[in-house]
Chain A
Amino acid sequence: MKMTGAQAIVASLEKEGVELIFGYPGGQVLPLYDALYDCKLRHVLTRHEQGAAHAADGYARATGKVGVCFATSGPGATNLITGIATAYMDSVPMVCITGQVPLSVIGKDSFQEADITGITAPITKHNYLVKNANDLPRVIKEAFFIARTGRPGPVVIDVPKCLMTTTIDFDYPETVRLRGYKPQAEGKAEEVEAVVQALAEAKKPLFFIGGGVITAEAAPLLRRLAETQQIPLISTLMGLGAIPATDPLFLGMVGMHGTVAANRAVMECDLLVGVGVRFDDRVTGLLARFASNARVVHFDIDRAEVNKNVVADLAVVGDLRWSLAALEAAMADFAKAGGPSRWEDWRCQVSRWSQEAPLGYQKSDEVIKPQSVIEEIDRQTKSDAVIVTDVGQHQMWAAQYYRYQRPRRLITSGGLGTMGYGLPAAIGAQMGKPEEQVVLISGDGSFLMNCQELATAVEHRLPLKVAILNNKVLGMVRQWQKLFFNQRYSYTTFANGGTDYVRLAEAFGATGLRAERPEEMPQVIAKALATEGPVVMDIRVCCDENVLPMVPAGAPLDQMINGEVK
């Protein structure tokens, strides 16, 4: 069928089952936007390209589908960068289509030209500068295939404007042929056998789970395996929700702001089974002391993760749905023969740690404690909302005090730690999951970074609720200044008491609510949840609270500030 390049892009996206695109137009993508006018694809106009990228990312994390965003060339495309890097660090499937100046003027520093494939090379799984309009369908087919298979990630397609108006014969390919890219779902049976052997020899085994478990949709498998084998589990920030927070075998989050039980378990286990984790430094603390009594097993789909940070004694490379199923099958007899009962002492020990040193904070009737806000949101949403966060103290409290029951219930920038991620990601998540309650937990600093997206939320009347834990400071940075810089609070306090978020919300056409006293807070949350459309809660919390426990950066996991076992 004859059509223009722009129409071919639209037709290709339809073939890929895309329903929603987030984007922002401009000169070099105008033909593509023109083609959108005549098609059924839904496009959401964000108020900033960074918002479009984060929204596509939030949509992808909430639904498991590929997020799609558009931007024009030059400044439009460079505004996507933080969003692309965020998605890359957390292995989020995304396809970004950017306009580029016409082929004839590429390389001449033309108006709004930027070398976007060059700029994004280190933060994409793959990228394309398309030079021939006939390649567009194939490139889009490949881009989606690459974004969603293997270890997912963002793919950028840069399309010079002239290709969008060229007429081509549209024929969407059925299959992809990429010599250098053949993601392997299945690994080696011997590798799994070796793990079974190691488990049978272990006295103190521990599952250490990460975001890969959620990405691979392998959480039910893992849960069943842990339950039949009765092996305790700990999780990274990205793995929260893979195992219900209330599961007795689950010891909570590990690492810098992990629980005492999780961190002690790492230090004492004799077999650490990492599943879909990448041993990030926020998790391991001092590498030399991380799990130093343990043999380390690593399950991952990305071979390059094995031995990158922590040297693994055993590794199983492959899709977790394959490898965990293989492990389960291979362990069945062991379970039947009562193998797991050998680990009873270990289980008792770790659950004692959990009971002796639960997460906690000093309660107050005078000021709103930020932790209590999360607990209240947890209570009122029955631990079943989709929680999106920004970055800072509120993010860690949202990780510690909300009791995630299911995968894809916590949407947060883990790897890059991107302030400003929350609001647009929440918009994406809410659009992908219209029937769910999405709650954004943000900080006053983070919220300001992309608050213009309130306009997008209002335009689409999203039932999104935003809780700003307003401490009038850049809380997490202030915490570091307090603990490690002698309380020299250099530029972390917002002058004049900060921004009036109620009026800000109203200016955008959203509802604004405020809670200043502890007794007001539950009602404000209840009212927000009962109010239609986007609601922003300005919750005035005390500014001097620390996220605890805390392992200082670069210290071993058993050096926890305020993490003593009582």
Chain B
Amino acid sequence: MRHTLAVLVENRPGVLVHIAGLIARRAFNIESITAGYTEQADVTRITIVVEGDNRNLEQVVNQLSKLVDVIKIVELTAEPSIERELALIKVKARPETRSDIVDIVEIFRAKIVDVNRETMVIELTGEETKIDALCEVLADHGIVEMVRTGKLALSRKPGAAKDSE
């Protein structure tokens, strides 16, 4: 099973490497990992998606909790949360296929952020499955290159991860 963790850490150089290294060293699989600033300048929030059963998850959380730079870990899989990923997809777009692609982009509520003679770049934020679906459809036109951020997640409950038990 996949688990999404929100990990609040001290904003220090090397902390992301340290966390990724610990998870890898303990032989757990990281599906995706993203990091960025939060509303507190000295706190970085890392969203990690790991694969494993509940016992694996417990170990990951307990081992990560031991790191002095880790302030808090919340498992978001268990609670209602908003999950998003951002993708930029460069797709082949000849004049005769361009309107097809525009239709697709509209259906997916994605955005065209760049156009030139041969390609278009499409931006989409959404759940992973939605991005997968868009990629599948665009594959028919030929994806030149693509970049995805990995998952970001935020609980829908009124409180913040930093306050939770």
Contact = CB atoms under 8 A, between A and B. Distances in A.
Given A117-B14, A118-B14, A307 B65 contact: no
A527 interface: no
A152 to B, nearest CB: 13
Interface in B51-105: 55, 58-59, 62-63, 65-72
26 contacts: A117-B14, A118-B17, A121-B21, A122-B21, A122-B22, A129-B14, A146-B68, A179-B10, A179-B71, A180-B9, A180-B67, A180-B69, A181-B68, A302-B66, A303-B62, A303-B65, A304-B59, A304-B62, A304-B63, A304-B65, A306-B62, A307-B55, A307-B58, A307-B59, A308-B59, A311-B55
Contacts of A495: none
Interface string A122-134: 1001100100000
B130 interface: no
Contact of B68 (A180, A307, A308): A180
B109 to A, nearest CB: 39
A250 to B, nearest CB: 31
A180 B63 contact: no
B65 to A, nearest CB: 7
A348 interface: no
B25 interface: yes
Contacts of A181: 68
A107 to B, nearest CB: 11
Given A121-B21, A302-B66, A180 B71 contact: yes
Interface in A283-324: 302-304, 306-308, 311
Contacts of A125: 66, 68
Given A180-B67, A307-B58, 12 more contacts: A121-B18, A121-B21, A122-B25, A125-B68, A146-B68, A180-B69, A181-B68, A304-B59, A304-B62, A304-B65, A304-B66, A308-B59
A1 interface: no
A78 to B, nearest CB: 18
Interface in B6-29: 9-10, 14, 17-18, 21-22, 25
Interface of B: 9-10, 14, 17-18, 21-22, 25, 55, 58-59, 62-63, 65-72
Interface in A149-180: 178-180
A295 to B, nearest CB: 17
Residue in B66, B70, B72 whose Cβ sees the most chain A Cβ within 10 Å: B66
A83 to B, nearest CB: 20
B44 to A, nearest CB: 12
A308 B58 CA distance: 9
Interface in A500-542: none
Contacts of B21: 121-122
Contacts of B18: 121
Listed from nearest, the 10 A-B pairs whose CB atoms lie closest are A304-B62, A126-B68, A180-B71, A181-B68, A179-B71, A180-B70, A304-B63, A303-B62, A121-B18, A180-B68
Nearest to B70: A180
A179 B67 CA distance: 11
Contacts of A126: 67-69
A126 B59 CA distance: 19
Nearest to A142: B68
A485 B103 CA distance: 69
B96 to A, nearest CB: 51
Contacts of A308: 59
Contacts of A303: 62, 65
Interface string A533-562: 000000000000000000000000000000
A96 B10 CA distance: 23
Contacts of A311: 55
A129 B69 CA distance: 14
